[in-house]
Structure 1
Amino acid sequence: MNNAVRPSPSPEAVKQAIHWSLRLRNNRANPKLRAQCADWRGAHGDHELAWQRVQALQQELSGQLAAIPGAHAALENSAQGLGRRQALKVLSGVLLVGTAAWVSRDLTGWQRWTCDLATATGERRSVQLPDGTRLQLNTDSAVDLHFNPQQRLITLVRGEALVTCSAVRSTPLLVQTRHGLFEGIDGRFAVRQDSACTRLSVVSGNVAIHSPHGAKGLSTQVHAGESYLVRQTEAIPAAPLDMDIGAWADGLIVTRGMRLDAFLAEVGRYRHGYLGCSADIADLRLSGVFRLEDTDKLLAILPQTLPVQLRYRTRWWVSLDRSA
């Protein structure tokens, strides 16, 4: 098998390339800005690679939009009532959000082929491992499995996993993320890996955090109902979440007084595109049980319980504002 992987720009370079592309789209006749962009592209090979990747993916997205009758008209209509400059920003923003999604697909989609188990956005998966352990993957997640007579190791490459394990065996069940190493002693626990840290939440039983070590150089024991935030240098107790741990495994989000902006960020993990709200309603609180199989139906419920209204600029750009 050919294991060569096409070079990928860093996420930070991609963000900068998208920023430059947006600025140039709205200021095509500005030679100074074009020169500054050229200087940025030439400053590092990663910059030029990110620029070429973003331009190629924008062209791909534009080609797909052109193939959909009325797509560009729909985008134009969504910007009606705005000034020309604001309309350009809206339309460019829609295009670039799509580009960011395609960049993300290009940078991480290969993991679905190279990792042992993976899920796409909005997909959940449950499998039973050779030792009887139940492994459930949340949306946009990937793991590698290393099971043999010498070890039982689950490496969480991306996303979130819910693990249900039996009593201790001769070889420990280990879960590894980029931030730490965890041993499932018995019971059920969730491991969610973000860019800055990994959140460990124990539903039942016990889990030992082997890395990083505690203050006395010993493993940290985490019991049912407890959560920890784990970084490469520390593991600290975390405040309880305002949603049920692991409810996603049953296709649900169960909230208790959750902020609206946090709720939308959570729902946004299960759909493509932009989902957000205006600042004046971000701290509205939400409690309830919501089904994940159709996020559009889920969002349609919100105006029935909160003083908000939905605004669809496109299928992939949804915002909430305070109702009139």
Structure 2
Amino acid sequence: MNSDHGAAPDPQIVRQAISWMMRMGNAGASPRVQRQCADWRAADQRHELAWQRIQSLNQEVASHYRAVPGAGLALEASAQRLSRRQALKLLGVAGLLGSAAWLGGDLDQWQQWSSDYATGVGERRSFVLPDGSAMQLNTRSAADIRFSRQQRLVSLRHGEIMISCKADPRPFQVSNCDALFETGNGRFTVRQQDDCTRLSVTRGKVAIHSPQGGSLTWAQAGQSWQVDQAGPRLMATPDMDMGAWADGLIVTRNMRLQPFLEEVNRYRHGYLSCAAGIADLRLSGVFRLDDTDKLLALLPQALPVRLHSRTRFWVRLESLQG
């Protein structure tokens, strides 16, 4: 082998290698996918090198943590189960591609390489889809699209998405681990959380197809729904505008301080929390997301709290009485 083995690879090739690894697993290693993957590997020596090193890391994660849910998916599944520190340590030991630097210091980065569309921490992006519909991704989000003559499908892999779809004979669908959401010409937001998915509709109506089957549930404009293993459930008026992030805002209505800080923490690195004694303080207002440090600095003006900062990445709110 030549000296190229010590060089950092093209990020696009790394992304392709991860994508092929996942396709091999998702397709159950069908003969067709195996042939396509083999052709890609043979097309360029750099492809084969990236493939071998991705496989090497995949095997390292699998053997180290003994958590292999399926062929070709150990990297994804194990990374989701590890703490950030554990995973970065493992990547450093593995020495993939000579260094773990190509991951950008953040495990969310693998989503960006293996997804059609993705955002990092604090990033919000807008896209125009092939049919002219508008798609916005919130912080730490990833999605794939599959458009054909028969369908318009967006698969939300992680995070939060807003769709403003154009009228078309084909239905517009957004799928994730909890449900399939379908509309003809609507505007709606889908947010995937650890234990459920939240849907908010601002225009038109959206059909909710839950995995449990049964009759469709229709979400109307102005409504917010929660979908989990128990099925869809209409929510009371939320204490936060679910679509305000698309305008770079957090808009709250009598929201508890602790969940407010959890929301802010989605847009920044590091630790952000509050003392238990002030967790139930209520907050209403409009807050800009462009600079979360400035946002936090405003809180003592609105509430009887003070900021305790060890560093910019470690912030805790405490009572003025403490």
The residue that corresponds to 2:187 in the other structure is 188
In structure 1, C-alpha distance between the alignment counterparts of 2:83 and 2:123, rounded to whole Å: 30
CA apart distance, 1:240: 2.2
CA positional deviation for 1:271: 0.2
Match of 1:305 among 282, 302, 314: 302
Tell me the secondary structure at the aligned position of residue 105 of structure 1.
Answer: coil
Maintained 8 Å contact 1:122/1:269: yes
Q: Which residue number corresponds to residue 77 of structure 1?
A: none
8 Å CA contact 1:180, 1:232 repeated in 2: no
Q: Are the counterparts in 2 of residues 164 and 187 from structure 1 also a CA contact under 8 Å?
A: yes
Instruction: Confirm whether residue 54 of structure 1 aligns to residue 89 of structure 2.
Output: no
Alignment of 1:228-267 (within 5 A): 228-267=225-264
Cα distance 1:58–1:297, how it changes in 2: closer, same or farther (>3 A)? farther
Q: Which residue of 2 aligns with 1:268?
A: 265
Identity %: 52
Alpha carbons of structure 1 residues 134 and 313: separation in structure 2 relative to 1, 3 Å: same
| Residue of structure 2 equivalent to 1:221 | 218
- What residue in structure 1 maps to residue 49 of structure 2? none
Aligned partners of 1:52 and 1:264: how far apart in 2?
20
Offset at residue 144 of structure 1 (A):
0.2
| Alignment match, 1:146 | 146
Task: Measure the CA separation in 1 of the matches of 2:270 and 2:163.
Answer: 29
Aligned-residue offset at 1:56: 5.7
Q: Which string of whole-angstrom CA distances, capped at 9 and with x for unpartnered residues, describes residues 21-69 of structure 1?
A: xxxxxxxxxxxxxxxxxxxxxxxxx7xx969972863997xxxxxxxxx
SS in 2 for 1:297: helix
Report the number of matched residues.
Answer: 245
Partners in 2 of 1:174 and 1:231 — Cα distance?
18
Cα distance in 2 for residues equivalent to 1:224 and 1:288: 23
Q: Mark the CA change 1:51 to 1:122 in structure 2 (over 3 Å): closer, same or farther.
A: closer
Counterpart amino acid of residue 180 in structure 2: L
- 1:298 is paired with a residue whose SS is helix
Q: 1:109 offset after TM fit, Å? A: 1.9
Aligned pairs for 1:281-292 within 5 A: 281-292=278-289
- TM-superposed deviation, 1:103: 12
**Is the 2:131–2:166 Cα contact (8 Å) retained in structure 1?**
no
Whether the 8 Å CA contact 1:141–1:158 is kept in 2: the answer is: yes
1:162 aligns with 162
- Structure 2 letter corresponding to 1:309: R
Measure, in 1, the Cα distance between the counterparts of 2:124 and 2:262: 18
Q: In structure 2, list runs of 5 or more residues that go unmatched.
A: 1-15, 22-53, 67-77, 93-102
- Partner Cα separation in structure 2 for residue 209 and residue 289 of structure 1: 30
Tell me the alpha carbon deviations over residues 244-266 of structure 1, each in whole angstroms, 9 at most, x when there is no partner: 12111110111111111111011
Distance 1:59 1:110 in 2: 12
- Change in Cα spacing, 1:258 to 1:52, as seen in structure 2 (3 Å) is closer
CA distance in 2, matches of 1:149, 1:221: 25
Unaligned 5+ residue runs, structure 1? 15-45, 61-101
Amino acid at match of 1:292: L
One-letter code aligned to 2:136: Q
Q: How big is the shift at 1:213? A: 5.4
For residue 270 of structure 1, give the secondary structure of its aligned residue in structure 2. coil
Match of 2:205 in 1: 206
Name the CA shift for 1:51/1:278 in 2 (closer, same or farther; >3 Å).
closer
Q: How does 1:27-176 map to 2 (within 5 A)?
A: 54=86, 57=89, 105-106=106-107, 108-167=108-167, 169-176=168-175
Q: How far, CA to CA, are the matches of 2:290 and 2:221 in structure 1?
A: 29
CA distance in 2: counterparts of 1:52 and 1:133, whole angstroms: 35
Q: Give me the whole-angstrom Cα distance separating, in 2, the residues matched to 1:114 and 1:248.
A: 25
CA distance in 1, matches of 2:312, 2:208: 42
